[in-house]
Amino acid sequence: MIYSVAPLLLGWSIDALIGDPYSLPHPIRLFGNLIAFGEKILNRGSHRRLKGTLLSLFLVGLVIGVFWLATYLLSPYPLFKGIFEAIFIFYGLSARQLVKEALAVEHFVQTDDLTGARHRVGYIVGRDTSNLSFNQIRTATLETLAENLSDGVVAPLFFYAIGGVPLMMGYKMINTLDSMIGYKNERYGEFGYFAAKILDDWANYLPARITAILIWMLHPTRQVWHHIRRYARAHSSPNSGYPESAMAGLLGCRFGGPNVYHGKLVEKPYIGEIERDITHADLIRGCRVVSVVTLLSVGIVCGILLLL
């Protein structure tokens, strides 16, 4: 079991030190290219939902199979197997990069550069950022921190704990499928239905709720728990509302509300009770929540692996 814990600690340490340098090759780019190739061929004509379902199942199965075969072939060589696993654990986690992106947005806000802040926050959110105020930019950044704490940290670690690197990378393919074809529009509504509404929703069901509990554990007050119970199900997503409501309760602020997506105004429900401006201190605290929850999650997974 030492070869399950050691790669995890090494992979997490590399992520904590350097994040995801843009100059490095990344498996998620390969995943994206595979999805784009399949979508270009299959997303046409009739039976688009069936085609999207088959493509999603094939790609997730392919990733799990390839990584299972690689770890199986490397099993007689524990050192090389551990290095291989550590590399892909590093690729599977995005805690440092998430904080870096949030702080990059905050830099423009702090320097009173509204154009730069709008452009930079567009890297990490799906909404139209061209008319956002500084407060809306900070709100969007905190929402993304909370949601991606689940998608980019807790969920990958959850799947590593139950299925090693193969299942961890299979989850990353599910997450990439949802980010590329999981949109409710004319092009992807049918083709991406299975990827978004079945695979991604179910894959994130437990991790999202675990994330909310971990955030509550950092500040175990009635306010945080009240926010989770009252607002977690208010979100249009069955999962995103859990970490967002926990973060809103911890910070004592409000997320959600109307935003423009792909040219259309979407009236999202509010998450949280206290309507106030988001401050620089809130952003810094949100980044610390990401870092501490990541450390706590890694510790819990290591403990589980050692016990097993």
pLDDT, tens only, 138-157 = 999 999 999 999 999 999 99
How far apart CA 110 and CA 107 sit, in angstroms, is 5
Tell whether the model's pLDDT for residue 1 goes beyond 70: no
pLDDT of residue 240: 93
Give the residue-averaged pLDDT of 258-267.
Answer: 80
Q: Is the pTM of this model over 0.85?
A: yes
pLDDT, tens only, 152-206 = 999 999 999 999 999 999 999 999 999 999 988 889 999 999 999 999 999 999 9
